[in-house]
Amino acid sequence: MRDILAKRLKQCRKEKRLTQNEVAIYCDITEKAYQNYELMTREPKLEILRKIADIFDVSIDYLVGRTDKKQVNK
């Protein structure tokens, strides 16, 4: 799961054309903290993961590899 999360965080960020700092600002964390998530030296707390999913417009399940569908059916 950790490898998938790191890969998908980076992929989604690049698709949205956001910098690590822009994502960090949105999530109210430091840029270094977000970098650690992409490097998987740290795992985000659920509250932060929810914010990241919101900014990337994907589900948390997608980010953590439980599904390959970016969005849940609404």
Q: For residue 7, what are the domain limits?
A: 2-64
Q: Is residue 51 part of a domain?
A: yes
Give the Cα separation of 31 and 73 in Å (integer): 32
Q: Is residue 53 part of a domain?
A: yes
Residue 30 CB-half CA count within 13 A: 4
The domain tally of the chain equals 1
Quote the radius of gyration of the chain (alpha carbons, Å). Answer: 11
What is this structure's pTM?
Answer: 0.90
- Give 30-69 pLDDT, tens digit per residue: 999 999 999 999 999 999 999 999 999 999 999 999 999 9
For residue 19, what is the domain's CATH number? 1.10.260.40
Q: Is residue 72 part of a domain?
A: no
Would you give the end-to-end CA distance of the chain in angstroms?
25
Give the Cα separation of 74 and 5 in Å (integer): 23
